[in-house]
Amino acid sequence: MSRFLLLLFLIIGPLTLSAQRLTEYNQKGNEALSRNDFADAKMWFEEGVSFCDSYSIDKLTTIWLENEQVRIPMRSLMTKCLNCLNIKATENDTASIARLILYYEHGIGTPESPELANYWEEQLSKLSKPEEQLPALENRLPSPKEKPTPLNLIIGYNFTPSAPYGITFGLLGKRWGGYLRLKSNMTFGKTTVDCNESGILNYTEGAYYKFDRERISRFGITGGLIVKILPWLSASVGVGYGERELQWHATAYSYSNNSLTTELWCENVTGSYKGIETEADAIVKVSKNFYLSVGCNSINLEFADLNAGIGLIF
């Protein structure tokens, strides 16, 4: 194949190039060639190489192939031609690829390299048969988009010392999720009277009060975000509304005869908290469908309590 390319280049190449519209430097180079002034021709065609002009490169290649005595001073110039051909060959210019094969086979501007010559022969063969490129084009098609990661359902039991009955519902995707949590201690008695360590605040004339026992009413509803940090570790932060009401049982006695007049529950305002509840938890996935969590919660950043949880991930 190399002999055929060489013959094709030496015979047909100049005929096709002559049909092109020549630049001034190529015209000057041809005039110098007609006088066999290779030094002058080399100077003019070298100007075309700076633009990677194919006509100039082909003329210099012809000079190099036909005149062994001028090859030594042309080595650096032919290396420039080789660089231009490599650039054009990467753009699938078949004419430049054919010239590259000659350059690597005959050591033009570079040491002889049969391996690179064979490589470019294979590329030229592939480009001459476009139908063979169809599989390669298919391989370059973008792969189908990955299906969205399904959301995992979270259901769990949540415990705090002040609200031992809690339940958590959540959804968790590949990276982000969310949750809703309810908590209570199942004490729902409400009061209409306020008190503190000094006694009943809305004092009733004619009676005094004694405190004999207490209870706590706790309720909270929160929701927030879950972020997956590691495949087995996630973190959650939430905000909502919470109440922790300390209630005292009071017995009223008459001042006149010390007889019992009434009993009631009052809210100890110094030990009660109502308002914004915040919380944060670490969630550890201990198996495929089982998790544990631990954290803390606070009401108005005044009352704080611990969180603990256990649940399932579907």
Residue 144 lies in a domain: no
Boundaries of domain holding 123: 2-139
109 and 226 share one domain: no
Task: Provide the domain count of the chain.
Answer: 2
Residue 27 lies in a domain: yes
Last residue of a domain, one of 139, 166, 194: 139
Find tokens 């509840």 and name the residue. 277
161 and 301 share one domain: yes
What is the C-alpha to C-alpha distance for residues 97 and 138, in angstroms, rounded to an integer?
Answer: 24
How is residue 23 annotated by DSSP? P
123 and 157 share one domain: no
CB atoms within 10 A of CB 15: 8
Q: What is the pLDDT of residues 216-261, one digit of tens each?
A: 999 999 999 999 999 999 999 999 999 999 999 999 888 878 888 8
Find tokens 């919470």 and name the residue. 242
Residue 81 lies in a domain: yes
299 and 163 share one domain: yes
Report the sign of the C-alpha dihedral through residues 232, 233, 238, 244, in that order. Answer: positive
Q: Are strands 260-268 and 193-196 parallel, antiparallel or unpaired?
A: parallel
What is the C-alpha to C-alpha distance for residues 85 and 88, in angstroms, rounded to an integer?
Answer: 5
307 and 158 share one domain: yes
Residue 237 lies in a domain: yes
Max CA pair span of the chain = 145
Q: Which residues contact 70 (CB under 8 A, 6 or more apart)?
A: 38, 42, 63, 64
Residue 145 lies in a domain: no
pLDDT of residue 60: 87
91 and 14 share one domain: yes
- Bridge partner residues of 149 (DSSP): none
CATH of the domain at 175: 2.40.160
What is the C-alpha to C-alpha distance for residues 266 and 43, in angstroms, rounded to an integer?
Answer: 109
Q: Which residues of the chain have pLDDT under 50?
A: 7, 10-12, 15-20, 131-134, 136-138, 140-141
Q: Which residues contact 181 (CB under 8 A, 6 or more apart)?
A: 158, 166, 167, 168, 169, 220, 221, 222, 223, 238, 240, 279
Give the pair of three-digit tokens for residue 95. 């004419």
- Bridge partner residues of 218 (DSSP): 244
At residue 98, the 3 state secondary structure works out as: helix
113 and 13 share one domain: yes
Last residue of a domain, one of 88, 107, 139: 139
184 and 301 share one domain: yes
54 and 116 share one domain: yes
Residue 146 lies in a domain: no
Last residue of a domain, one of 139, 164, 183: 139
CA distances from 16 to 12, 55, 133, 227 (A): 6, 10, 29, 68
Could you tell me which of 85, 97, 86 has the C-alpha nearest to residue 121?
97
pLDDT of residue 12: 45
